Structure 1
Amino acid sequence: MIDHLDHLVLTTTDLAACEDFYTRVLGMRLEVFGAGRKALRYGNQKINLHERGHEFEPKAHLPAPGALDLCFIAREPLDLVIAHLQREGWPILEGPVARTGATGPIRSVYVRDPDLNLIEIAEYPT
């Protein structure tokens, strides 16, 4: 019945810090749509942004910053991602480590975004 994820919503306490992390550190594109709403676009997906206390309706029952664990597949080798994170001064919590992704084994590193969501960045072996 379901084919793929189109978008998800991330609730943040600090829009500027959130935008900076996802654009500067992860390389996503900031997009403004609708009545001033914001999203982070990457590939064929996007992350809509809600600021805590100013969420758009309808919304999750308990929208909360820091409640997400997200895994992104990098479009470049993980070693280049690690080097980029180091240049940006963004701490790696763990990794690289072997994990299992949606379609098989992956190699991952873990960081936290400004709201303390757990962000996994991974590559599938070539």
Structure 2
Amino acid sequence: MASFAVKALDHVVLTCKHIPKTIDFYTTRLGMKHETFGPAGQQRHALTFGSQKINLHQFGAEFEPKAQNVQPGSGDLCFITEHPIEKVLTTWQAAGVEVRKPLISCPVSPWRRCEEHVRLKMTTQVLEGGKVVDRTGAVGKLRSVYCRDPDGNLIEYVGPRVSDPLKSPFQVFISLTVFFTESRIMSERW
């Protein structure tokens, strides 16, 4: 069977207990835009940011086709901002957003929960609630802060470390283009 590489993610779906509360949270706290689409009487809701989209389904009245085991609050989403994450944190705290701590940072893999190490009383680091923490994501080294949306989905909001600016795919393309162009010019000189 042939393998077909994925180019990008078009959308994800969040199943919500109360769509208006979800819209309010994501538009006022995360700066997303709300849009409606579909025929009259069957209008659907979505949240957009950049070229991404989150479709919203009302729990108990989901649109078909849908995931097999839909459940509000089962999501774990990570969003990227270009703003200093410390500023995001202070803004959220001033607005009354409850900032969460990741459960436990595992000494072997700080990205996953580590109940096994707790049972074995191994050295673990419990992160303080409401603090910015360092992580590594798909785009590089990040500074993260966590909260929950109205349905209980875990929301990780990340920004670049000051010393390690994030590289967009476009920046990586430009860097590679410059590298290969310079390499070609150098080889032509020799």
**If the TM-score is normalised by the length of the shorter chain, which range does it land in?**
over 0.9
Quote the residue 1:96 is aligned against.
132
1:87 maps to which residue?
94
Match of 1:122 in 2: 158
- Are the equivalent residues in 1 in contact too, given 2:34–2:45 (CA < 8 A)? yes
**1:71 is matched with which residue: 68, 78, 82?**
78
Q: Deviations over 1:26-62 (max 9, x none)?
A: 1111000113100000111010000001110000001
Aligned to 1:24: 28
Paired with 1:87 and 1:23, the residues of 2 have a C-alpha distance of 17
Per-residue deviation, residues 60-99 of structure 1 (Å, max 9, x unmatched): 0011101110000013221221122122110111330011
Structure with greater strand share of residues: 1
Gaps of 5+ in 1: none
What is the TM-score normalised by the length of structure 1? 0.95
Q: What do the CA deviations read for 1:3-22 (whole angstroms, capped 9, x no partner)?
A: 11111000000111111110
RMSD: 1.0
For 1:8, what is the secondary structure of its paired residue? strand
Q: Mind listing any 5+ residue stretches in structure 2 that lack a counterpart?
A: 102-130, 166-190
Matched, 1:15 2:19: yes
TM-score, L = length of structure 2: 0.64
Deviates more, 1:54-63 or 1:78-87: 78-87
Q: Determine if the alignment matches structure 1 residue 113 to structure 2 residue 149.
A: yes
Query: 2:64 matched to 1:57?
Result: yes
Native 8 Å contact 2:84 2:160 kept in 1: no
Contact between 2:10 and 2:53, CA under 8 Å: does it hold in 1? yes
The question of whether the paired residues in 1 share the 8 Å contact of 2:135 and 2:143 is answered with: yes
Residues 77-123 of structure 1 show CA distances to partners (whole Å, capped at 9, x for unaligned) of 21221122122110111330011101321110000000000000001
Moved beyond 4 Å, runs of 4+: none
Distance 2:93 2:10 in 1: 30
Using CA pairs below 8 Å that are at least 6 residues apart, which structure has the higher relative contact order? 1
